[in-house]
Structure 1
């Protein structure tokens, strides 16, 4: 089974093209002003056209209201909504019913206790993304370059597709996949030379390293 590779927080035509050319399965766009990766709707329109038909487009939001989601959907035409805030199971269901799009719910993980809400989210979402828990006082929930203990997910019994995020880079992605047996990986800060500034060569290196894990798994 092939690994799904997502490059998140893309904000320029050049870095998006690097991700697409290197074979990213998913490309993520951030709509959350506190993030250095936040993009305007105008930028989203152009990047969305560039990515159309070449990769799955993911719109990342944090506790966004319906009006905000509607504007993003109209502009980007995403395939998946990534909900990265404190959205409840009921909110997930409302969003799916209102907008008719797939929903990926991000869950912050530090210990096994953080998995307690998983059954509820798994019943409502189409995909789960496990990310490192942000430290207290952080202004945003993800993209902070922090790694969580992947062994928390080691014996996870989840029928839903899931991805791992949080501090991944070309050097550790193979170990993350080996420990978690995740079907997908998601990187943002791990392919940046500065916060919010993606590096094309780092993007290519990450995707090469992620694809190499597929070769190992079939040997």
Structure 2
């Protein structure tokens, strides 16, 4: 969704269980993220992802997160998992992004890691080839994962910025800080993974509810 008026859209990433996917959809998430990256505690096998996607409630967009994927992985995902979008979270060049988009036939969201103002230059490059951007905290050099590290960046770096295509804010978002992040950046889409987990890779329904309520300015349901 582009910048401007309208409801904030939430992506719950790193889903591994059907119950969590159903809860995310019921509570109002617009996107469900599935991770295909073996080092991640949220990694899914192709069979598990296919079953989750097949059982997803109508209306929620299913996003496959991949990291520097080869053509074999792209082909397997296109053939076996009912995805609506690919999220590229590695070091893919703009040329590779365009090639993956063409090969898969799916819209592509490219993640851009941000630590300082110099990192924002990549946004213009990838805006020419991606359908959406995910603006995330750049992981530390020794990090095992490209995202999902519960790290945020200085949101003032993108304050009052606007780009020509839809973008999503990620990185260290939680039920406690997402409203402030939205106010500061103007984001109309936000992504969360570790911020709604009770253990690595295990989502918590009450945290999902609180996050979506905080992001959208609605009342959270009461869990007993």
Question: What is the aligned partner in structure 2 of residue 42 from structure 1?
Answer: 47
Unaligned runs of 5+ in 1: 214-219
Distance in 2, matches of 1:173 and 1:11, equals 23
Contact kept? 2:160, 2:186, Cα under 8 Å = no
Q: Determine the structure 2 residue equivalent to 1:186.
A: 191
Which shifted more, 202-211 or 140-149?
202-211
**Where does residue 125 of structure 1 map in the other structure?**
130
1:157 shift after superposition: 2.8
- For these two proteins, the number of residue pairs brought into alignment is 213
Residue 115 (str. 1) matches residue 120 (str. 2): yes
2:20 aligned residue:
15
**Offset at residue 27 of structure 1 (A):** 0.4
Q: Which moved more, 1:47-56 or 1:161-170?
A: 47-56
- Within the alignment, does 1:169 sit opposite 2:174 as a pair? yes
Q: Give distance in 1, aligned partners of 2:50 and 2:205.
A: 21
Structure 1 residue 52: Cα displacement:
5.2
Q: Report the equivalent of 1:79.
A: 84
- Aligned partner of residue 51 in structure 1, secondary structure: coil
- Following TM superposition, by how much is the alpha carbon of 1:144 offset from its aligned partner in structure 2, in angstroms? 0.4
The whole-number CA distance in structure 2 between the counterparts of 1:138 and 1:183 is 28
SS at match of 1:46: helix
1:97 Cα offset (Å)? 1.4
TM-score, normalised relative to structure 2 = 0.92
Q: Partner residue of 1:216?
A: none
Report the TM-score when normalising by structure 1. 0.94
Give 4+ residue runs of structure 1 displaced > 4 Å after superposition: none
* 2:102 corresponds to: 97
Residue 160, structure 1, aligned to residue 156, structure 2: no
Give the 3-state SS of the residue equivalent to 2:72 in structure 1: helix
Q: Secondary structure at the match of 1:107?
A: strand
- Inter-partner Cα distance in structure 1 for 2:32 and 2:26: 12
Q: Distance in 1 between matches of 2:123 and 2:18?
A: 36
